[in-house]
Chains A and B, each alone.
Chain A
Amino acid sequence: MSMDKNIAPGTPPRVLAWRRFRRNRPAVAALLLLVMLATSALLAPVISPSAQMLQDLELGATPPSAAHWLGTDDLGRDLLSRLLHGGRISLAVGLCATFVSLCIGVAYGALSGYAGGHTDNVMMRIVDILYALPFTVFVIILMVVFGRNLLLLFVAIGAVEWLTMARIVRGQVLALREQTFIRAARVLGYSHARILARHIVPNVIGPVIVYTTLTVPRVILLESFLSFLGLGIQPPMSSWGLLIRDGARMMESYPWMLIFPGVTLSATLFALNLVGDALRDALDPRALR
């Protein structure tokens, strides 16, 4: 099937996909940036130049300098340290809420596609209805009504971002369930649960990975949006959205408080989107090489 003589027959698709991904230079650079960001956020308590909360009111806000690479905020807190700690929250929300949406979306989509027929119709009609709703509004209500805690934020965001995932998985499963190996599994007398978990879900993993990568930036964006409005993460915790909120308030006198968090957030979203697009191209089964 392939014209490329370097590919030995029987090379696992995973390896081929990785080769295709590696050829996309901007995406590899973006991946490196993300790994760096994630590592530094993870190690924030160890590597950040000063404690996140350490105030120095006498110092106040200072522009970037040798002592404080990204300057300090109006309370004299080191901005780089705050940015690293904020990154922990932003990335954690991004990953956890995406995981929630992944679980709901895959389970719902797989069930709907596997059941087929009437059940499938009803389940997808519900997704259609939910699609038509202005969701940010619901997340805001949830946050206001049930108090602004971190766990709820994961669940609220995850609970609204699963719809597209469910649709994608359902489409894949619908195509899979008529294939011979699934029928064989059924003839062998395996339970539906086993067929779903062992035979169906592993086969939809490609599109799921791609869409997961594209969900993470959406989730991070939603969290920052809420925090910017004061409806997400609450001080003394910090996230990138909250730092941008502080920065927007102080920008007239201390523009660096806005610029650095803004650039960090935008660069992260940019990198995640690049990696997601590249993964989609690399995992596309129609791609020959």
Chain B
Amino acid sequence: MAAIVAAMLKFLLRRLLSMIPVLWATVTLSFLLVRLAPGGPFTNEKQYPPQAIEQINRHYGLDAPLYLQYVRYLGSLLRGDLGPSLKYTGRSVNDMIAETFPVSLELGCWALLVALVIGMAAGITAAMRPNTALDTVPMTLSMAGICIPAFVLGPLLVLVFALYAGQFNATGWYEPSDRVLPAITLGATYAAYIARLTRAGMLEVLPQDYIRTARAKGLTEWRVVGIHALKPGIFPVISFLGPAVAGLISGSFVTETIFDIPGMGKLFVAGAFNRDYTLVLGLVVFYSALVVLFNTLVDVLLAVLNPRLRLHA
């Protein structure tokens, strides 16, 4: 037992260590991209006098040589400080993330819930009766779901359920019912993928001997499918959750824009438009940390569930 725990801890440590180069690469790449840009956030609009520009650059440390700026940025990152926003004077990127992240997190959780519940239900139904209407109808729908992007589905849902039927508000994030349409918009594509993955995983498991044994023991169909088959059957779904989170992040850009939700996605798009480089850089760093952390969690979860993976890790 102790050996297993030790192996587990070693695995966890290795995964955590392997996060470091990924995060470093992200920070460096995005820092260079942003800093190599021709023109800065203050060049386009109002004609500031050159002295003012000089002063602003000095204030934000933009007059220092590039390598020094880079070292300073890494230094403040290590202290967990993402710096000040260039456009929203007097506000720090940390504050802005602290304000908007809970909103996006809530939206993401609802969307993931929609995706998992609908996707797994459809996938299991299809796998239990392969090549019947119960299989082909959900699978055709899921293919359609993959091909209808959030920025088409979202406006269509608003059109039908908010503007015509009047059941929901078209935009906003106030009442509990305001969560419904955005969650479906963001979750639909992933529900479709998860349905296909669940079906494939279950189809691989269901013909195996131990399932026949479970049936022979006289267990109810619900127990056989829901307990015995489901555990190995959803491995593909769990591995998909890592990339899915990266997808949910980019999906949140359009979903939050469509429904006017005050979350991080909308903040990112606004920051990109305003060329608020520190804000964009800070959000990229935060997003990357989130994605990498989640991928690691998924790997750990898979290792916990599947002992065979642990040996190879």
Contacts and interface: CB of A to CB of B under 8 A. Distances in A.
Nearest to B25: A129
Interface in B213-258: 246, 249-250, 253-254, 257-258
Given A141-B34, A244-B152, A133 B288 contact: yes
Interface string B131-144: 00000000000011
B295 interface: yes
Interface string A62-102: 00000000000000000000000000000000000000000
Nearest to A250: B155
Contact of B280 (A144, A221, A224): A144
B33 A248 contact: no
Interface centre among A145, A221, A258, A265, by most chain B C-beta atoms within 10 angstroms, is: A145
Interface in B112-147: 143-144, 146-147
A191 B278 CA distance: 49
Consensus secondary structure, chain A interface: helix
B272 A140 contact: yes
Size category of the B interface is 35 or more
A101 B25 CA distance: 21
B250 A136 contact: yes
Contacts of B22: 129, 132-133
A228 interface: yes
A231 interface: yes
Size category of the A interface is 35 or more
Given A129-B21, A228-B254, A137 B287 contact: yes
Given A140-B268, A229-B257, A230-B273, 19 more contacts: A129-B25, A132-B291, A133-B22, A137-B284, A141-B284, A144-B275, A145-B33, A145-B36, A225-B149, A225-B151, A229-B269, A244-B151, A248-B258, A251-B155, A258-B156, A262-B148, A266-B144, A269-B146, A270-B147
Interface of A: 129-130, 132-138, 140-142, 144-146, 217, 221, 224-225, 228-231, 241, 244-245, 247-248, 251-252, 255, 258-259, 262, 265-267, 269-270, 273-274
Interface of B: 21-22, 25-26, 29-30, 33-34, 36-38, 143-144, 146-149, 151-152, 154-156, 158-159, 163, 246, 249-250, 253-254, 257-258, 268-269, 272-273, 275, 280, 283-284, 287-288, 291-292, 295
6 closest Cβ pairs, A-B complex: A136-B250, A145-B37, A248-B155, A262-B152, A269-B147, A270-B147
